[in-house]
Amino acid sequence: MIREVVDDRRMPPWHADPRYGHFENDRSLTSRQRATVLAWVDQGAPLGDAKAVPTPRAFPEGWTIGTPDLVIEMPESYQVPAQGTVPYQYFRVPSGFTEDKWVQAAEARPGDPSVVHHVLVAIDDHKERTKGEADRVPPSTIPPTPLKRGAV
């Protein structure tokens, strides 16, 4: 996967079009950097100097924002396929709010963080749906793997 996304120039992400000039903070790789990464992948991604490896990152148990006043959970679990490409998934999760609320902090907590790359959250204040509109976009047809329910 590293080879594919570096070779296709999808990683690191940089969406400015170089045909329109130089942009500050350009995150794209130079030709030499790309060649180095691709050669490393082709060699089996060897570890390198074990003494230079940083200590593994420690992830806190529980909530990182403190105990929340409210936990909003997905009404049903989503099964993440074990293989293949998963298109973006969109879920509507009712908040239960009947009036406007100020939110000081929010934290997304997937049931299985190993299968979640990122989460985008938006407020959908539409009160009514059109006839036949689903609560979520249908998942892909790839056979699923169980995923525990998560909280937001």
> Has residue 38 got a pLDDT over 90?
yes
Residues 107, 63: contact at Cβ < 8 Å? yes
Least confident of 73-82, 83-92, 140-149: 140-149
pLDDT mean over 90-116 = 86
73: which strand partners? 151
pLDDT mean over 101-126 = 84
Confidence class for position 47, pLDDT limits 50, 70, 90 = very high
> Has residue 122 got a pLDDT over 50?
yes
> Has residue 151 got a pLDDT over 50?
no
Least confident of 7-16, 43-52, 101-110, 138-147: 138-147
Question: What global pTM score does this model have?
Answer: 0.50
- Burial class of residue 6 (count of CB atoms within 10 Å of its CB; 0-12, 13-18, 19+): buried
Confidence class for position 130, pLDDT limits 50, 70, 90 = low
Q: How far apart are CA 93 and CA 136, in angstroms?
A: 9
CA angle 81, 151, 83 (to 5 degrees): 10
Q: How far apart are CA 89 and CA 78, in angstroms?
A: 9
Confidence class for position 25, pLDDT limits 50, 70, 90 = confident
At CB < 8 A and 24+ separation, what contacts does 29-35 make?
34/6, 34/7, 34/9
Percent of the chain with pLDDT over 90: 28
